[in-house]
Amino acid sequence: MTTEIGGTLRRTALYDAHRALGARIVPFGGFEMPVQYTSILAEHEAVRKRAGLFDLSHMAQFALRGAGVGAWAETLTVNNVENMKGGQARYNIFTNERGGAHDDVIFYRLGDERWLLVVNAGNADKMWAHVSAERAGDVELENLHGERALVAIQGPRAVEWLQPYVEAELAAMKYYSCAETRVKGTRAPILIARTGYTGEDGFELFLPSDEATGVWDLLLAENRERGLAPCGLGARDVLRLEAGMPLYGHEMTEEITPLQAGLAWAIKFDKPAFCGKEALLAQRDAGDYARIVGLTMEGRVPARAGYPVFAGATQAGEVRSGSFGPAVGKNIATALVEPLAAPDGTALEVEVRGVRHAAVVTPLPFYRRPKAS
Amino acid sequence: MAQPAGLLYSKEHEWVKLDGDVATVGITDYAQAALGDIVYVELPRVGATLEQFGGIGVVESVKAVSDIFTPVGGEVTAVNDAIEADPALVNRDPFGGGWLFKVQLADVSQTDALMSPEAYDQLVSQA
């Protein structure tokens, strides 16, 4: 069950902790990862109402060093990199010549010449090969995949429950900022970022692997009885779908461009040059591209990735992600559809096992967290 | 984990309760736990004729779709309407209120192909 064709599965530093917590383990991105500890719905609720703790150590961390990193990365990605300040994190996308996505990533600028790049687990090898092949001038790369752990605490209580263990004043950190700070149980300061993939407030902690279990146990020791729940990748996928966040391989691929994925805000067409710029400009100007939309199913039948989507008698696209959305109370999905089928409120149908079921195009995100008081 | 006595089991993790030549069918506790939170169940229609071990519907959890294979063949005489409105009933009470459908058996001897509670228990404890 946990074998993968053509490769050996790796384990994160927290594998034993997951087993001890009764997690169900599945292969994901080359690692044996917890998909759930109790139930996806219970873990989802913990994150929306209190906070959840995630092991994301399967994601690949690349250290980038050198005065040339910013300028170099500008040419490979759609968003701005060089103008990031120390202590800033920024979402970005590495593109191919056709404007498709190699991966969506986050850059963290630790200092003038020190950066961290976090890429998806499933793209780790491809991305390492890509950045290595494109490496130029004053850029040093170090692949920390599997050597560094990543633990996230996500939810409205994240500040309160993490703060006692951290020197930095968490409430003062802005969304998408990062800081190197002392954390109880670690030898040296570690990077903490106010980033996440759940639609809630929260933090991600980048740790040496041998310190991961200590910090994980510390965070659960006092907070678990208050309601901090260890959460698996199952809940994480539902949370990100509700929050309208793309998942590589679903809403974005080597073929589905960031423009199609609704990420125009991240594409800086005023940059002098970047890989895929001409293709993306042409796609934008033509305007007739299929695009990712949100779908809400009207009945009780869930839509799933790959199901065909119809506008009247015509196939208008296909579902790319689908799940029950607990915060919405309905089945929700994303679909890649032709422009005519894309306006909000359009009535479409999803074909499920040969039967068509009503769906309506719904603006993303499906869920937005209440404003902090 | 002991399996309820008086039922027969399939290797696809369904249970059968015989009452004369009418069989009530559901999924086992092991199956519901493996599936996780159930959000939708698609059942055959009353009057449909099922072939033993055929795929006759699906059960969907939050993230996944799984086929239901009927452990017995015959004509469907009832389906459990309660789980249409409350699919999680299958999680909460898989051997009771979460039953799926009833079948009028074409041939009672087909149950010879099913497992005893002890044999099924052995199957799931090896999984």
Confidence of residue B106 (pLDDT cuts 50, 70, 90): confident
Say which range, A242-251, A288-297, B117-126, has the weakest mean pLDDT: B117-126
Q: In this structure, what is the dihedral angle of CA atoms A164, A165, A169, A170, given to the nearest 10 degrees?
A: -90
**Token pair recorded at residue B45:** 């229609």
A40-49 and A233-242 helices, crossing angle to 10°: 60
Q: Could you read off the pLDDT of A236-280 as tens digits, one per residue?
A: 999 999 999 999 999 999 999 999 999 999 999 999 999 999 999
Third-level CATH fold of A290-362: Elongation Factor Tu (Ef-tu); domain 3 (2.40.30)
Contacts of A56 (CB under 8 A, 6+ apart): A150, A151, A152, A204
Q: Where are chain A's structural domains?
A: 10-58+146-242, 290-362
% of chain A beyond a pLDDT of 70: 98
Query: Alpha carbon of A43 to those of A37, A39, B34, B63: distances in Å?
Result: 8, 6, 16, 13
Domains of chain B: residue spans and CATH:
9-107 (2.40.50.100)
Is residue A2 pLDDT above 60, yes or no? no
Largest CA distance in chain B: 38
Percent of chain B clearing pLDDT 90 (strictly above): 93
The residue with tokens 């959890």 is B61
CB nearest to B63's CB, from A234, A300, A301: A234
The pLDDT-based confidence of B117 (bands split at 50, 70, 90) is very high
The residues, any chain, with a CB within 8 Å of residue A238's CB and separated by 6 or more, are: A40, A44, A323, A324, A325, A326, B62, B63
Give yes or no for A80 touching B (CB within 8 A).
no
B62 closest CB neighbour out of A301, A323, A353: A323
Q: Which residues does chain B have within 8 Å of residue A37's beta carbon, measured at their own beta carbons?
A: none
Min CA distance, A46 vs chain B (Å)?
15
Cα-Cα-Cα-Cα dihedral of A194, A195, A199, A200, to 10°?
-30
Residue A1, pLDDT score: 36
**Partner-chain contact A302 B60, CB within 8 Å:** yes
Most A-contacting residue of B35, B37, B67 (CB-CB within 10 A), to test interface: B37
Q: Amino acid identity of B35?
A: L
- Which strand ranges, in their side-by-side order, compose the sheet holding A190-193? A178-181, A190-193, A202-208, A148-154, A51-55, A228-230
Given this model, what pLDDT does residue A4 score? 46
Cβ neighbours of B65 in A, within 8 Å: 302, 304
**Cα of B121 to nearest chain A Cα, Å:** 20
pLDDT on residue A6 = 54
A27-77 pLDDT tens trace: 999 999 999 999 999 999 999 999 999 999 999 999 999 999 999 999 999
CA distance A35 to A39: 9
pLDDT, average across residues A328-349: 98
CATH number of A10-58+146-242: 3.30.1360.120
Side-chain-facing half-sphere of A139: CA atoms under 13 Å: 20
Residues in chain A closer than 8 A to B60 (CB atoms): 302
A67-123 residue pLDDT tens: 999 999 999 999 999 999 999 999 999 999 999 999 999 999 999 999 999 999 999
DSSP notation for chain B? -PPPTT-EE-TTSEEEEEETTEEEEEE-HHHHHHH-SEEEEE-PPTT-EE-TT-EEEEEEESS-EEEEE-SS-EEEEEE-THHHH-TTHHHH-TTTTT--EEEEES-GGGGGGSBPHHHHHHHHHH-
Mean pLDDT, rounded, of chain A: 96
Query: Quick check: A332 and A293 in contact, CB under 8 A?
Result: no
Please provide the DSSP assignment of A268-308 as one string.
-TTSS--TTHHHHHHHHHH----EEEEEEESSSPPP-TT-E
Indicate the average pLDDT of chain B.
95
Euclidean distance between CA atoms A363 and A39, whole angstroms: 28
Residue A177 contacts residue A87 (beta carbons within 8 Å): yes
pLDDT in tens, A134-186: 999 899 999 999 889 999 999 999 999 999 999 999 999 999 999 999 999 89
| Residues 6 or more apart in contact with residue A166 via CB below 8 angstroms | A181, A182, A183, A184, A192
The answer, for A45 touching chain B at a CB cutoff of 8 Å, is: no
ipTM: 0.90
Q: Give which of A368, A351, A244 is closest to A297, Cα–Cα.
A: A351
